[in-house]
Amino acid sequence: MVKNQQPEALQLKNITPILNALEIYDIKEVLVEKESIEECGLAERQLTIAVKVESRCEIQRQINSADHIFSF
């Protein structure tokens, strides 16, 4: 999910095209946990798609009230 990342070098699949296609499926919001990106030393601007950065607590609250959840 990081710009210019080369997952193939680690024999991993590049999921950026999948993430870019989310809006086709009417997925309006992608949440990223603030604590996790901070632990990884990342900033929101480094990510390949537009996201909403939320606290761990807020994401848990939204998960508990969601009808559908996709986790990557």
pLDDT tens column, 19-57: 888 889 888 888 999 999 999 999 998 998 899 999 999
User: What is the four-CA torsion angle of 49, 31, 71, 47, rounded to 10 degrees?
Assistant: 30
pTM score > 0.85 for this model?
no
pLDDT at 4 over 70: no
Tokens read off for 19: 């993430």
DSSP three-state, residue 59: helix
